[in-house]
Amino acid sequence: MRTNALLTSVAIWTSALAQQETVRYQDPETGITFASITHANGASYRVALPINSTSSDAVLQIVAPKEFQWCGLAWGGHMTNNPLSVSWTTGATSGQKAIVSNRMAYSYYAVPQQYDGAEHTYLKGTTSNDTHWQVTARCQGCTRWSSADGDIDITTVSETVFAYACSSYAPDTPNSNTSQFNIHEQFGIWNHNLDLGRSESFGDWIRNNPYEASVEV
Protein backbone atom coordinates (compact mmCIF):
# COMPACT_ATOMS: atom_id res chain seq x y z
CA MET A 1 0.00 0.00 0.00
CA ARG A 2 1.35 3.36 -1.00
CA THR A 3 0.78 4.90 2.44
CA ASN A 4 2.87 2.22 4.09
CA ALA A 5 5.62 2.69 1.54
CA LEU A 6 5.75 6.35 2.38
CA LEU A 7 5.75 5.64 6.10
CA THR A 8 9.12 4.03 5.63
CA SER A 9 10.46 6.24 2.87
CA VAL A 10 9.74 9.63 4.41
CA ALA A 11 12.73 9.87 6.63
CA ILE A 12 12.34 13.31 8.07
CA TRP A 13 9.27 14.42 10.01
CA THR A 14 9.26 17.59 11.90
CA SER A 15 7.24 18.01 15.03
CA ALA A 16 7.15 21.12 17.09
CA LEU A 17 5.20 22.82 19.80
CA ALA A 18 4.82 26.04 17.91
CA GLN A 19 6.29 29.19 19.39
CA GLN A 20 4.00 31.46 17.39
CA GLU A 21 1.05 33.24 19.04
CA THR A 22 -2.57 33.49 17.94
CA VAL A 23 -3.40 37.01 16.77
CA ARG A 24 -6.59 38.77 15.70
CA TYR A 25 -6.55 39.02 11.90
CA GLN A 26 -9.09 40.73 9.67
CA ASP A 27 -9.20 39.13 6.23
CA PRO A 28 -9.32 42.01 3.71
CA GLU A 29 -11.28 39.99 1.15
CA THR A 30 -14.16 38.82 3.35
CA GLY A 31 -14.00 41.21 6.32
CA ILE A 32 -14.01 38.19 8.63
CA THR A 33 -12.01 38.62 11.83
CA PHE A 34 -10.17 35.42 12.65
CA ALA A 35 -8.09 34.10 15.51
CA SER A 36 -5.06 33.40 13.33
CA ILE A 37 -1.71 31.75 13.66
CA THR A 38 1.05 31.56 11.05
CA HIS A 39 3.52 28.78 11.66
CA ALA A 40 7.23 28.83 10.87
CA ASN A 41 6.52 26.84 7.68
CA GLY A 42 4.43 29.79 6.38
CA ALA A 43 1.01 28.11 6.69
CA SER A 44 -1.76 30.03 8.48
CA TYR A 45 -4.72 28.52 10.35
CA ARG A 46 -7.61 30.87 11.12
CA VAL A 47 -10.85 30.28 12.98
CA ALA A 48 -13.88 32.54 13.52
CA LEU A 49 -16.78 31.66 15.84
CA PRO A 50 -20.16 33.08 16.85
CA ILE A 51 -20.02 35.22 19.99
CA ASN A 52 -22.21 32.86 22.02
CA SER A 53 -22.21 29.59 20.24
CA THR A 54 -25.30 27.43 20.40
CA SER A 55 -24.12 25.22 17.56
CA SER A 56 -20.98 23.66 16.14
CA ASP A 57 -20.53 26.47 13.63
CA ALA A 58 -17.15 27.95 12.72
CA VAL A 59 -15.38 29.55 9.79
CA LEU A 60 -12.00 28.14 8.93
CA GLN A 61 -9.34 29.64 6.71
CA ILE A 62 -6.17 27.76 5.78
CA VAL A 63 -3.56 29.62 3.73
CA ALA A 64 -0.59 27.54 2.60
CA PRO A 65 2.55 28.24 0.56
CA LYS A 66 2.49 26.37 -2.75
CA GLU A 67 5.35 24.12 -1.67
CA PHE A 68 2.66 22.26 0.30
CA GLN A 69 0.25 20.05 -1.62
CA TRP A 70 -2.03 19.56 1.36
CA CYS A 71 -2.33 20.98 4.89
CA GLY A 72 -4.89 20.01 7.49
CA LEU A 73 -6.25 21.22 10.80
CA ALA A 74 -7.00 18.76 13.61
CA TRP A 75 -9.70 20.42 15.73
CA GLY A 76 -8.91 18.28 18.77
CA GLY A 77 -5.16 18.91 18.78
CA HIS A 78 -3.98 15.46 17.70
CA MET A 79 -4.43 13.21 14.72
CA THR A 80 -6.96 10.63 15.83
CA ASN A 81 -10.64 10.72 16.89
CA ASN A 82 -11.36 14.36 16.11
CA PRO A 83 -12.56 16.25 13.02
CA LEU A 84 -9.83 16.95 10.48
CA SER A 85 -10.29 19.69 7.89
CA VAL A 86 -7.82 18.65 5.23
CA SER A 87 -7.32 21.09 2.38
CA TRP A 88 -5.34 21.17 -0.81
CA THR A 89 -4.87 22.92 -4.10
CA THR A 90 -6.72 21.37 -7.03
CA GLY A 91 -4.10 22.70 -9.43
CA ALA A 92 -6.89 24.22 -11.58
CA THR A 93 -6.18 27.58 -13.20
CA SER A 94 -9.86 28.56 -13.18
CA GLY A 95 -12.95 27.46 -11.29
CA GLN A 96 -12.31 25.63 -8.03
CA LYS A 97 -8.65 26.13 -7.16
CA ALA A 98 -8.67 24.71 -3.64
CA ILE A 99 -10.67 22.10 -1.81
CA VAL A 100 -11.44 20.94 1.73
CA SER A 101 -12.28 17.47 2.98
CA ASN A 102 -13.99 16.26 6.19
CA ARG A 103 -11.98 13.44 7.69
CA MET A 104 -11.46 11.56 10.91
CA ALA A 105 -8.52 9.26 11.65
CA TYR A 106 -9.00 6.20 13.79
CA SER A 107 -5.37 5.08 13.60
CA TYR A 108 -1.97 6.48 12.71
CA TYR A 109 -1.50 3.85 10.01
CA ALA A 110 -4.33 4.52 7.60
CA VAL A 111 -5.62 7.42 5.53
CA PRO A 112 -8.15 9.37 7.62
CA GLN A 113 -11.69 8.37 6.59
CA GLN A 114 -14.56 10.53 5.36
CA TYR A 115 -16.30 12.06 8.39
CA ASP A 116 -20.04 12.59 8.05
CA GLY A 117 -20.34 14.48 11.33
CA ALA A 118 -18.97 17.69 9.78
CA GLU A 119 -19.90 19.65 6.70
CA HIS A 120 -17.88 22.38 5.02
CA THR A 121 -19.47 25.10 2.89
CA TYR A 122 -17.05 27.14 0.80
CA LEU A 123 -16.95 30.89 1.23
CA LYS A 124 -15.31 33.66 -0.78
CA GLY A 125 -11.55 33.36 -0.34
CA THR A 126 -11.17 29.79 -1.61
CA THR A 127 -8.59 30.22 -4.31
CA SER A 128 -4.91 30.26 -5.22
CA ASN A 129 -2.36 32.64 -6.67
CA ASP A 130 1.31 32.42 -7.70
CA THR A 131 2.60 31.79 -4.19
CA HIS A 132 -0.22 30.41 -2.02
CA TRP A 133 -3.49 28.49 -2.11
CA GLN A 134 -6.22 28.98 0.44
CA VAL A 135 -9.54 27.63 1.60
CA THR A 136 -12.17 29.69 3.44
CA ALA A 137 -15.13 27.60 4.57
CA ARG A 138 -17.90 27.39 7.10
CA CYS A 139 -17.67 24.18 9.07
CA GLN A 140 -20.74 22.83 10.82
CA GLY A 141 -19.63 20.00 13.06
CA CYS A 142 -15.95 20.86 13.58
CA THR A 143 -16.26 22.38 17.06
CA ARG A 144 -18.37 19.69 18.74
CA TRP A 145 -17.97 15.97 18.25
CA SER A 146 -18.30 12.58 19.87
CA SER A 147 -15.59 9.98 19.39
CA ALA A 148 -13.43 7.56 21.35
CA ASP A 149 -12.06 10.72 23.03
CA GLY A 150 -15.53 11.40 24.51
CA ASP A 151 -18.05 14.20 23.88
CA ILE A 152 -15.97 17.27 23.07
CA ASP A 153 -17.19 20.88 22.81
CA ILE A 154 -14.62 23.57 22.13
CA THR A 155 -17.22 26.33 21.71
CA THR A 156 -17.28 26.91 25.47
CA VAL A 157 -13.54 27.47 26.00
CA SER A 158 -11.38 30.54 25.46
CA GLU A 159 -8.37 28.60 24.29
CA THR A 160 -7.91 25.14 22.84
CA VAL A 161 -5.16 22.91 21.50
CA PHE A 162 -5.12 22.55 17.72
CA ALA A 163 -2.76 20.53 15.56
CA TYR A 164 -1.73 20.75 11.92
CA ALA A 165 -0.10 18.53 9.36
CA CYS A 166 1.31 19.43 5.92
CA SER A 167 2.77 17.49 3.01
CA SER A 168 4.61 18.38 -0.18
CA TYR A 169 3.11 15.31 -1.91
CA ALA A 170 -0.14 15.89 -3.81
CA PRO A 171 -3.26 13.83 -3.10
CA ASP A 172 -3.90 11.11 -5.69
CA THR A 173 -6.88 12.97 -7.23
CA PRO A 174 -6.38 16.66 -6.46
CA ASN A 175 -9.76 17.79 -7.80
CA SER A 176 -11.70 15.43 -5.50
CA ASN A 177 -12.12 15.92 -1.77
CA THR A 178 -12.59 12.18 -1.31
CA SER A 179 -9.08 11.56 -2.66
CA GLN A 180 -6.53 9.34 -0.98
CA PHE A 181 -3.37 11.08 0.20
CA ASN A 182 -0.21 10.14 2.01
CA ILE A 183 1.46 10.86 5.30
CA HIS A 184 2.59 14.36 6.19
CA GLU A 185 6.20 15.48 6.42
CA GLN A 186 5.41 18.06 9.09
CA PHE A 187 3.06 18.33 12.01
CA GLY A 188 2.73 20.56 15.07
CA ILE A 189 0.45 21.49 17.95
CA TRP A 190 -0.32 24.84 19.51
CA ASN A 191 -2.69 26.69 21.83
CA HIS A 192 -5.26 28.67 19.83
CA ASN A 193 -6.95 31.64 21.50
CA LEU A 194 -10.52 31.27 20.23
CA ASP A 195 -11.77 34.48 21.87
CA LEU A 196 -9.85 36.55 19.30
CA GLY A 197 -12.12 35.17 16.57
CA ARG A 198 -15.50 35.40 18.31
CA SER A 199 -17.97 37.96 16.95
CA GLU A 200 -21.60 39.01 16.82
CA SER A 201 -21.02 39.50 13.08
CA PHE A 202 -20.53 35.78 12.48
CA GLY A 203 -23.92 35.34 10.75
CA ASP A 204 -23.35 38.39 8.53
CA TRP A 205 -19.92 37.10 7.52
CA ILE A 206 -21.44 33.89 6.23
CA ARG A 207 -24.31 35.67 4.46
CA ASN A 208 -22.04 38.29 2.89
CA ASN A 209 -19.35 35.97 1.56
CA PRO A 210 -20.87 33.37 -0.75
CA TYR A 211 -18.33 31.33 -2.66
CA GLU A 212 -17.60 32.42 -6.20
CA ALA A 213 -15.26 29.95 -7.87
CA SER A 214 -14.48 32.29 -10.73
CA VAL A 215 -13.16 35.13 -8.55
CA GLU A 216 -9.48 35.76 -9.23
CA VAL A 217 -7.08 37.16 -6.63
Q: Which of 2, 31, 40, 108 binds ligand HEM (CB under 6 A)?
A: 108
Query: Does 112 sit near ligand HEM (CB under 6 A)?
Result: yes
C-alpha closest to that of 29 among 136, 108, 151 = 136
Q: What is the C-alpha to C-alpha distance for residues 12 and 165, in angstroms, rounded to an integer? A: 14
Query: Does 10 sit near ligand HEM (CB under 6 A)?
Result: no
Assign 158 to helix, strand or coil. Answer: coil
Least distance from C-beta 111 to ligand HEM, angstroms? 4
Please give the C-alpha separations between residue 164 and each of 29, 64, 168, in angstroms, as whole numbers.
Answer: 24, 12, 14
Q: What is the C-alpha to C-alpha distance for residues 183 and 166, in angstroms, rounded to an integer? A: 9
Q: What is the C-alpha to C-alpha distance for residues 217 and 213, in angstroms, rounded to an integer? A: 11
Least distance from C-beta 95 to ligand HEM, angstroms? 24
Q: Which is nearer to ligand HEM, 29 or 152 (CB)?
A: 152
Least distance from C-beta 28 to ligand HEM, angstroms? 27
Query: Does 192 sit near ligand HEM (CB under 6 A)?
Result: no
Asked whether 4 and 10 are in contact (CB, 8 A), the reply is no
Assign 185 to helix, strand or coil. Answer: coil
Q: Which positions from 75 through 104 interact with ligand HEM, judged by CB under 6 A?
A: 78-79, 84, 86
Q: Which of 43, 74, 142, 206 binds ligand HEM (CB under 6 A)?
A: 74
Applying CB under 6 A, the residues found at the interface with ligand HEM are 3, 72-74, 78-79, 84, 86, 108, 111-112, 163, 165, 181-184, 187, 189
